């Protein structure tokens, strides 16, 4: 009887938690923010979320079927990608745009690079940037329909739609916004990014379930908050601490920090690397928001840092037991040899001069 042991490539650590179980936990953690978005923006927001998620699953199924590959929609990774993309959509976006974005995320960014585990950037964010470039006007239109709970009441004389500056646009001028509205979700913005409370609750749920660790979101939010506070103090803004907290709660920072920067495939696996990765995200988001002309910048910061992950892991990989001591001794021996070579070279020059 043939008893061969199959040894796969590293890492060899195994867990009882499956990919589908992890993805279902992520979906459950996203549901509070989705619920707030639907509550604020109406049933059309729910339609956008369903279309985006459904298109991602359908795109993966059709691609794998047409190419005679194993169908992997049961791992729910496409569902998470589509849901995240839908949460990054404006509440009145044309229905076919998130469908196109989901197809781009799954086919171009994920499947063409080999499927789950092979993509070099977060598919949802890559698709969002693709849509921002292709349909800039529609993707930045934050107008909302009649009936938005905190802004437009459903009474006679209320406008059919409301268009105004997003919280980040107000904060860009140095003015403060309404922290309560930012925290609870009573603001204009994308469907899934308005409620910092719902996103924080979902992120902490993933930490409690041991799906993610605090290193990346903690380093990301902490670095950004420190730099923002220093900037507010140097520029003489009124209530710099309040301004900093509002910057953290506004836009897609919380959504990106807890749910997209922590993507297993496109984030470092080393502990030091995760902290460096999060800190770089904070620095880049601060540059985009407060130094540059952009009001947002989370998507571009995460994608840029996704490209740096191989280099970060290369310089932060752990050293095997005993290797560090050997390395120190080897460096010491090399320095001694270099000094001896310089001494011999100097003696040779002196002898020739004589």
325 domain-assigned: no
109 within some domain: yes
58 within some domain: yes
> Could you tell me what percent of the chain has a pLDDT over 90?
56
Nearest CA among 70, 87, 104, 71 for reference residue 29: 87
For residue 297, give every residue at least 6 positions away whose Cβ sits within 8 Å of its Cβ, in sequence order, or none: 284, 285, 287, 288, 289
pTM for the full predicted model? 0.82
Q: What's the structural domain count of the chain? A: 1
**Residue 90 domain flag:** yes
The verdict on residue 276 lying in a domain is yes
Q: Is residue 44 part of a domain?
A: yes
Structural domain range at position 30: 19-316
| Residue 160's CATH number | 1.10.3430
Task: Give the chain as a 3 state SS string.
Answer: CCCCCCCCCCCCCCCCCCHHHHHHHHHHHHHHHHHHHHHHHCHHHHHHHHHHHHHHHHHHHHHHHHCCCCCCHHHCHHHHHHHHHHHCCCCCCCCHHHHHHHHHHHHHHHHHHCCCCCCCCCHHHHHHHHHHHHCHHHHCCCCEECCCCCCCCCCCCCCCEECCCCHHHHHHCCCCCCHHHHHHCCCCCCCCCCCHHHHHHHHHHHHHCCCCCCHHHHHHHHHHHHHHHHHHHHHCCCCHHHHHHHHHHCCCHHHHHHHHCCCCCCCCCCHHHHHHHHHHHHHHHHHHHHHCCCCCCHHHHHHHHHHHHHHHHHHHCCCCCCHHHHHHHHHHHHHHHHHHHHHHHHHHHHHHHC
- Any domain includes 338: no
Instruction: State the pLDDT at residue 23.
Output: 93
In the chain, what is the straight-line distance between the N-terminal and C-terminal CA atoms, in Å?
A: 80
Q: Which pLDDT score, from 0 to 100, does residue 10 have?
A: 54
Task: Specify if 101 maps to a domain.
Answer: yes
CA 201 to the chain's CA centroid: 17
Q: For the chain of 354 residues, list the mean pLDDT of each consecutive stretch of 10.
A: 56 70 94 93 93 96 92 92 94 93 94 87 92 88 57 37 64 83 86 92 94 94 96 91 92 93 91 95 94 87 93 83 60 79 76 66
- Structure confidence by residue, pLDDT tens digits, 37-72: 999 888 999 999 999 999 999 999 999 999 999 998
The predicted structure's pLDDT at residue 123: 93
């Amino acid at each position: 009887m043939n008893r061969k042991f199959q040894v796969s490539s590293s890492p060899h650590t195994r867990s009882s938690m499956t990919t589908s179980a992890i993805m279902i936990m992520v979906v459950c953690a996203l549901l509070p923010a989705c619920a707030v978005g639907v509550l604020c923006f109406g049933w059309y927001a729910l339609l956008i979320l369903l279309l985006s998620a459904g298109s991602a699953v359908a795109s993966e199924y059709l691609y794998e079927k047409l190419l005679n590959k194993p169908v992997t929609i049961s791992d729910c990774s496409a569902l998470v990608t589509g849901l995240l993309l839908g949460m990054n959509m404006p509440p009145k976006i044309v229905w076919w745009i998130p469908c196109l974005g989901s197809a781009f995320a799954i086919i171009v960014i994920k499947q063409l690079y080999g499927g789950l585990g092979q993509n070099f950037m977060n598919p949802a964010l890559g698709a969002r940037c693709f849509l921002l470039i292709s349909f800039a006007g529609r993707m930045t239109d934050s107008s909302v329909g009649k009936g938005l709970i905190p802004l437009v009441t459903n009474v006679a004389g209320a406008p059919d739609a409301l268009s105004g500056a997003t919280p980040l646009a107000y904060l860009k001028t140095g003015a403060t916004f309404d922290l309560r509205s930012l925290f609870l979700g009573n603001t204009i913005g994308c469907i899934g990014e308005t409620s910092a409370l719902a996103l924080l609750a979902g992120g902490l749920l993933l930490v409690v379930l041991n799906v993610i660790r605090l290193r990346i979101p903690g380093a990301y939010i902490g670095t950004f908050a420190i730099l923002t506070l220093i900037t507010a103090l140097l520029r003489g803004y009124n209530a710099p601490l309040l301004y900093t907290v509002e910057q953290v709660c506004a836009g897609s920072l919380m959504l990106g920090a807890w749910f997209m920067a922590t993507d297993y495939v496109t984030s470092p696996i080393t502990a030091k690397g995760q902290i460096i990765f999060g800190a770089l995200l904070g620095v880049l988001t601060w540059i985009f928001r407060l130094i540059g002309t952009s009001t947002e910048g989370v998507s571009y910061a995460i994608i840029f840092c996704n490209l740096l992950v191989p280099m970060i892991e290369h310089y932060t990989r752990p050293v095997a037991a005993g290797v560090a001591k050997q390395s120190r001794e080897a460096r010491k021996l090399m320095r001694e040899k270099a000094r001896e070579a310089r001494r011999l070279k100097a003696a040779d020059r002196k002898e020739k001069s004589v």
